[in-house]
Amino acid sequence: MATNDLRNRINEQYRSMSKGQRLLAAFITDHYDQAAFLTALELGAKVGVSESTVVRFATSLGYKGYPEFQRALGAEVQKELNSADRMETSYGRLSGSKILGTMLKADRERIKKTMEQIDAGAFEQAVAMMAEARRVYVIGLRACGPVAEFLSYYLNLIRDQVTLLRMSTDNEIFEQMIRIGKDDCIVGISFPRYSMRTLKAMEFANERNAKVITITDNVYSPMNLYSSCNLIAASDTSSLIESMVAPMSVVNALLVSLAAKYRGDVSKNLEVLEEIWREYQTEGNDELDPVDDARKLRFTEFGETHE
């Protein structure tokens, strides 16, 4: 085993796991803080597998038995607790203005690192996949949720047939993906701690022969298991708050490239939206009073208004 890290062991073994083991892997990845305090019998009951399946799962990961596996889970919980201490050590003594400068410099370095690591060919391939796909699915959970929403929102202005996968359960993912096929594309966004639900969605898309694009932190990310197009963006940070600046920059670049391909459609879409905004009075004050069309407000570039 190349590493003693529990998450890496799960990621390395995931593709070869049985159905029951994958259920365990998903629960442990998403709820490691709960799993650390469960017996093998209790963990099996939570997931819906037998106690013996849980024990075999532990030994398949290279542990001598469930007790050693449970200690590894406890270590994962301790790592999370220690991250608060690391944040205090790194930033606790800095003033607000110094924290601002420190974080901006750190994000600048992440963008620089991303520029050095990202594969230009993979980027162009991702743009082509998203442009040619019948439907584009986007998924990103937890801290990656806002990045996925940003991509989905602007992608919907650029082209039609865009689905942002939202869910509270695993089944809800697959219900929204039931029609995904070889003419479709999915963009999966995930950074440590990686989301097993995102990985499952990408696995399902891959099995249905859809094109799979990942936006993740390194070439060894489990998100790349089912992807043919990997976009690497730096996100490492010593604080509790994961930086999404570099991933957002990659998403911005994807959107600008797609907008250039769909230039005519984008212009038409914006014209339609402007007409809708005018017709339904969605700009300016949000009020229901009747509007006198004879009186218009003209806004100057300096913010002054004239009747």
| Apex 219 CA angle, 227 and 154, nearest 5 | 55
**pLDDT score, position 98:** 77
Mean of the per-residue pLDDT values for the chain?
Answer: 82
Q: What is the pLDDT of residues 31-51, one digit of tens each?
A: 777 888 889 999 999 889 999
Continuous segment of H or E residues that includes residue 212: strand 211-216
Q: Say if domain 103-263 classifies as CATH 3.40.50.10490.
A: yes
Continuous segment of H or E residues that includes residue 230: strand 229-232
**pLDDT score, position 307:** 45
Euclidean distance between the first and final Cα of the chain, in Å? 74
Domain definitions of the chain by residue range = 6-91, 103-263
Q: What is the pLDDT of residues 180-217, one digit of tens each?
A: 999 999 999 998 878 888 998 999 999 999 999 999 98
Distance CA 15, CA 101 (A): 42
Percent of the chain with pLDDT over 90: 40
224 Cα distance to chain centroid: 13
Cα-Cα-Cα-Cα dihedral sign, residues 190, 196, 199, 201 = negative
Q: What is the pLDDT of residues 130-184, one digit of tens each?
A: 999 999 999 999 889 999 999 999 999 899 999 999 876 667 888 999 999 999 9
CATH number for the domain running over 6-91: 1.10.10.10
- What number is the average pLDDT over the span 252-261? 92
Helix 245-261 vs helix 96-117: crossing angle, to nearest 10: 50
**pLDDT score, position 91:** 53
% helix, strand, coil for the chain, step of 5: 60, 10, 30
Pairing of β 185-189 and β 229-232: unpaired
CA-atom Rg of the chain in angstroms: 23
Would the CATH topology of 6-91 be identical to that of 103-263?
A: no
Q: What is the pLDDT of residues 258-306, one digit of tens each?
A: 988 887 777 777 777 777 777 776 555 555 555 454 444 443 444 444 4
Is the predicted pLDDT of residue 81 greater than 60, yes or no? no
Compute CA distances 78 → 6, 68, 84, 146, whole Å: 13, 15, 10, 27
Distance CA 109, CA 245 (A): 10
**pLDDT score, position 8:** 77
